[in-house]
Chain A
Amino acid sequence: MSLMEIIAQNLVHFHLWTSIQTFPKSSAKGTPHGVVRGVPPKKLSETTSISSTGETESSTTDKPDGDTSEEWVLPLSISDKLTVENIEQIFESIRSVGSYRPKRIIAGLLDDDGSVVYYFIHDGLVKPRS
């Protein structure tokens, strides 16, 4: 199984996500191992992003149909290194495969014992969770 498939399996059968779609790195250029799209069983916590003018907007997606429950997961191995530039490329790469630029992605980090830890990566500033 590739790293991406392991993460996808983890999402479907451990965290019970649905509608999983995988994009290998050949199509999602700039991602180290491809990218996974899916819907969590319960909507993940909403975040409020802060724009450069200091105004807040409450949304998780710019998706045309306004569906906010979809998330993008970026499979990573424990030895991968990411720069801010890489992250920018990844956001853009998701725009090209998913037709919109998400407000956040989730890094899924795989360790050599098979455990996966997930972290949000937000596109810009967000209000801290209370």
Chain B
Amino acid sequence: MEQEEDDLLNFDSSNQPDDDFGEVIQDWAVVAQKYQGKKRNTVPKRGVKDAEPLAQESTTYDERMLSEARNTMYEALSKTRRVPVPGNGSMDPLTIRYDRQTGEFYMTQPKGKFLETLGKTDRDGKTVWMFPEEAVFLVERGSCIAKYSDDDSHVLSLEELYSMAFANPGDYEKFMCYSHLKRCGYTIQRHAEYDEMIPLVTEVMVPVLSTKRFQLGHLANYLTRSLSWFRRLILPLVDRIGLFCFNGGLSRYPLLHPQHFEFSRYFRYSSMFSQLQTVFLRPSSHQEVQANQQTKYRICFNIWKPTPGFRKKSPPVPDFQVCVIDVNSTNFPSFEEVRSLLGRCDSHTVKKVERTSVATGPDDFKLKYGEKHILICIIDQGVMNFVRLNDSSFASEGLIWQDQWLQKKKFAPRKGGRKNRRKQ
């Protein structure tokens, strides 16, 4: 069941084994084919575990397959990397200019579908300004060529572009993240924190478990369930009076006294739990998190799933926000850092599919995916991985135990109580 839910929601769909990284091993034969126009041998595929260390009994068959595939890779790599320039012939290739004085990338006479989501267009529509990662991405995938703004004869090589675009430490890692997500089809733009200040103070909502609402919710449940009006009135009353007389004001043995349970009268387990919660649950409140200006965890990019009609001038709230870090110099963020990040980000978790069946337990989606989330792109010497962190609050789901579990007859699924509480 859980599996189906995941599929519907497209989050980490768990029917796929998690060790398939969602990425495919590079098949060099495809690349080699581009140059030679003929299909080459590929490494026989079955599972990742098929490749074991070459051992004594390994066959010439295995070795031949392996060396052929390896040669294909070398061959593909040995070719000069040509950037296929569009508009060969009659049309001029699309050109990005690099201004050596200001270090800016721009494009005059802007053309190309990619500009729908990329770059910043001047008011007159004649110039599009680009961030370095945008310019390099376009050149790398062969959509444009790049030239100096004051030299029309020289087409910049990728090496030249890289050295100019990624001058600061961390720039290249951010570009890796950018181009990976771009190639996956996402729309992606710089976030203000990429190179600006971080807002000083963020207010973080700490969800509260309100005992009062909790009790009323249960009372309401009880009311809807009871059959006769008399029962409806009397039983909760008895329960309340009993709770007061025996466990509260009049009891000789208050909660946490060793004899408390021996001399107390509880009619329902939920009453016991609400007593325990007075001891073990902290009422929380709004809290301010000071942002550390020197933090390594800056939100670098806003990310949108592919959406038709995306307008780069007035983009909607991003679906994801990512913070790019280098594993070897940056640890897992502390709790304060995570809270600050979640407080600063504005991408909300969207629940795609409303539950069709009436919820009888806690809202697992909310517990699992929270209300706000942040992606962290961790880069370990060129290997990229994404981690999604989100808030969650088990306390705000209230009591998980349901007294009706003890009753023999079947009840209509509970409704009302919990949901209403959440809205308040």
Q: How far is the CA of A127 from the CA of B54 in the complex (A)?
A: 11
- Tell me the A38-89 residues at the B interface (CB within 8 Å): 50, 54-56
> What is the CB-to-nearest-CB distance from A52 to chain B, in angstroms, rounded to a whole number?
12
Q: Beyond the given A56-B55, A56-B57, A128-B49, please list 8 additional residue pairs across the A-B interface where CB-CB is below 8 A.
A: A50-B53, A50-B55, A54-B53, A54-B54, A54-B55, A55-B56, A56-B56, A127-B53
Instruction: Report B56-76 residues with CB < 8 Å from chain A CB.
Output: 56-57
Chain B residues with Cβ below 8 Å from A127 are: 52-53
Closest to B57 in A: A56
**How many A-B contacts if CB must be within 8 Å?**
16
The contact size tier of chain B is under 10
CB B355 to nearest CB in A, in angstroms, measures 35
Pair A55/B49 contact, Cβ less than 8 Å: no
Residue of A nearest to B56 (CB): A55
Q: Which residue of A lies closest to B47 (CB)?
A: A130
Q: Which residues of B contact A128 (CB under 8 A)?
A: 49, 52
Q: Is the interface of B mostly helix, strand, loop or mixed?
A: loop
Q: Which residues of B have CB within 8 Å of A55?
A: 55-56
Number of interface residues of A (CB under 8 A): 7
Give the Cβ gap from A97 to chain B, nearest Cβ, in Å: 33
For chain A, what secondary structure do more than half of its interface residues adopt (helix, strand, loop), or is it mixed?
Answer: loop
Which residues in A have their C-beta under 8 angstroms from that of B54? 54
Q: A108-130: which residues lie under 8 A (CB-CB) from chain B?
A: 127-128, 130
Closest 5 CB pairs of A and B: A56-B55, A55-B56, A130-B49, A127-B52, A128-B49
**Whole-angstrom CA separation of A74 from B423 in the bound complex:** 54
Q: How far is the CB of B191 from chain A (nearest CB, A)?
A: 42
Closest to B54 in A: A54
Question: Which residues of A lie under 8 Å from residue B53 when comparing CB positions?
Answer: 50, 54, 127
A55–B56 Cα distance when bound, in Å, is 6
14 contacts between A and B (CB under 8 A): A50-B53, A50-B55, A54-B53, A54-B54, A54-B56, A55-B56, A56-B55, A56-B56, A56-B57, A127-B52, A127-B53, A128-B49, A128-B52, A130-B49
Inter-chain CA distance A55–B53, complex, in Å, is: 10
Report the Cα distance A130→B49, complex, angstroms: 7
How far apart are the CA atoms of A56 and B58 in the complex, in Å?
11
Interface residues of B in 38-60 (CB under 8 A from A): 49, 52-57
| In the complex, chain A residues whose CB is within 8 Å of the CB of B49 | 128, 130
